[in-house]
Amino acid sequence: MIAFQDLKLAYRNVFRNTRRSLVTIIAIMLSCAGLILFAGYVAWAFKSAEAQAVVIFSHLQLARPGFYEKGAGNPTAYAIDSYGQIKQLLQDDAVIGPKLQLVSAQTVFKGIVSYSAAHTSSTFVGLGVFPEDDWTLLHWNPYKLTSPLDLPVNKAVYGSAPELSSNDPEGATIGIGLANVLQVNPDAKVLDKQINASRPAPSPQQSDPDLAALSQEVTQEAATQTLRPTIELLCAPPGGGMPNAMTMSVRKIFNRPTKELDNQSVKLDIRRASELLFPGEELKVTSILVLLKQTADLPVVVARLRELIAGGKLDVDFRTWTELRPFYNQLTQMFRAMFTFMFCIIVVIVIFTIYNTLSTGIAERIPEIGTLRAMGVTRAGIRKTFLLEGMFLGLFGGLLGVLLAIAGELVVNSLGVVYVPPGGSFYTKLEVLVLRAPIILVVCFGGFLLAALFSAIFPAHRASRMIIVDALRH
């Protein structure tokens, strides 16, 4: 049992040689803070990578059986024509429904795109989406990270409005690489200048501001559409036969997550994609996207989906976001390995630091140990004293390390460093999550405390085994 007397004695002994103990505590503090900040960065990297993957892939994608194995060559051959029913089924399900943030769909297809103004053409990968759903998906941010869409650097590229608009069904966006190949003018500023030049001056009689804004928006939309470059999309229908063609206007040019996609991507309203691929038919999609309110619900939803599929209520195959984005798992494994490696190295250093401090302290206190033993302190009592001293060193160093890490979090997060993380598609503000990931504090602090106790075991044991008369004679 640890009595107050033991704690008092151990505490005072820790600060008996103030300079030595302070150096040890500072070493523990810096190690602990460094590790917490790195863990905070790793936590942010995980959450950021997850958010960046989910806004692209959603949590789950449902497709017709065989799509994931054979659909890459001809995705439209695996089109789903019951999107509305599946969406309804998911929303009405007692398990899945409450966990849903959004159910949407996308159509992936391939074809040839040409830009007649420049006499250029290229193959493309088309992605049909519901414009508003796409925007909702892009804003999924349950971890309250700084949204990439709030960063000026991203706003310059992505704008502050949805990429596509249901009010503009003829508008498509293309990847910057494809725009270069097609020689579509990617300079949005030119377009903006042209729009501003063509915009009529507001009428002085127009007093209603809402009406004025609406009028301006419609005028701008019209001006934009008339000034936008037009491209022609050519696709072979899934059943073969004559290719279908469609003219779209380029709303904007975007960076895509990968160079390959950048060189081939055309994004358009899913209804237009369906018209292009399946003219005269009802809406067909290649995948149904399921976005959950939180990723933690995914296992439950996946289990329920399996039940529905096994019960014959759903005839689909599905993939989770981590299956669609294997890079995430690679990233997390790499960071986990790095963190574990760093943790081990730092903990070993801390163990040796505390061991050295305690050993030196013991060497200086041999007669005192003899005195305590003579007075009736048991070997266990001596061990306890030195274990407590080690614990105090770990406790003070760890606590100060936690405080320093919190201060470090505030500093790093206020620096506003932005970069495109590996595998990311947006500029992202670099953050460390310390207070928002309290488990890191618990693990690191607890780890250092245990390391401190561990490092005290051998010196404490050595002190307890001293021969009393030798210790008194020392």
Partner 1 sequence: MSTETVASPVGASPLVVLKGVRKEYHLGKTIVVALREITLSIERGFFAAIAGPSGSGKTTLLNIIGCLDDPTAGKVFIAGQDVAEYSDNELSHFRAHKLGFIFQSFNLIPVLNVYENIEYPLRLNGTPRKNLKERTWELIEAVGLTAQSKQRPNQLSGGQRQRVAVARALVTRPDLVLADEPTANLDSETGEKVLHLMKQMRDRLGTTFLFSTHDTMMVGHADQHFTMRDGTLVQTKNGNGSAASSL
The number of angstroms, rounded, from the C-alpha of 444 to the middle of its chain's C-alpha atoms is 22
Binding to partner 1 (CB under 8 A): which residues in 380-399? 380-381
Q: Measuring CA to CA, which residue among 376, 400, 372, 405 is closest to residue 386?
A: 372
In the complex, the smallest distance separating the C-beta of residue 458 from partner 1, rounded to whole angstroms, is 20
Structure tokens at 320: 């989770």
In the complex, the smallest distance separating the C-beta of residue 389 from partner 1, rounded to whole angstroms, is 11
> Please, which residue, 70 or 474, has the CB nearer to partner 1?
474
x/- map, 429-448, partner 1, by CB under 8 A: --------------------
> Please, which residue, 38 or 386, has the CB nearer to partner 1?
386
Q: Measuring CA to CA, which residue among 168, 325, 151, 157 is closest to residue 256?
A: 157
In the complex, the smallest distance separating the C-beta of residue 387 from partner 1, rounded to whole angstroms, is 17
> Please, which residue, 84 or 367, has the CB nearer to partner 1?
367
Q: Which of 378, 415, 417, 442 binds partner 1 (CB under 8 A)?
A: 378
In the complex, the smallest distance separating the C-beta of residue 399 from partner 1, rounded to whole angstroms, is 22
In the complex, the smallest distance separating the C-beta of residue 377 from partner 1, rounded to whole angstroms, is 6
The number of angstroms, rounded, from the C-alpha of 306 to the middle of its chain's C-alpha atoms is 26
Q: Tell me the window of 105-113, 161-169, 235-243, 376-384 that interacts with partner 1 (CB under 8 A).
A: 376-384
Binding to partner 1 (CB under 8 A): which residues in 334-373? 367-368, 370-373
Q: What are the b/e assignments for 170-206, b being 16+ CB within 10 Å? A: ebbbbbbbbbbbbebebeeeebeeebeeeeeeeeeee
> Please, which residue, 23 or 467, has the CB nearer to partner 1?
467
Binding of partner 1 by 303 (CB under 8 A): no
In the complex, the smallest distance separating the C-beta of residue 16 from partner 1, rounded to whole angstroms, is 6
Binding of partner 1 by 375 (CB under 8 A): yes
Binding of partner 1 by 472 (CB under 8 A): yes
Binding to partner 1 (CB under 8 A): which residues in 6-25? 8-9, 12-13, 16
> Please, what is the end-to-end C-alpha distance for the chain in angstroms?
30
Q: What are the b/e assignments for 367-386, b being 16+ CB within 10 Å? A: eebbebbeeebeeeebbbbb
Q: Which of 160, 210, 376, 439 binds partner 1 (CB under 8 A)?
A: 376
> Please, which residue, 391 or 402, has the CB nearer to partner 1?
391
Q: Which long-range contacts (CB under 8 A, 24 or more apart) does 52-55 make?
A: 52/148, 52/421, 52/423, 52/424, 52/425, 52/426, 52/428, 53/321, 53/322, 53/324, 53/325, 53/327, 53/328, 54/137, 54/140, 54/291, 54/295, 54/321, 55/137, 55/138, 55/139, 55/140
- Helix and strand numbers (H, E) in the chain are 18, 11
Please report, as ranges, the residues that interact with partner 1 according to CB under 8 A.
3, 5, 8-9, 12-13, 16, 367-368, 370-381, 468-469, 472
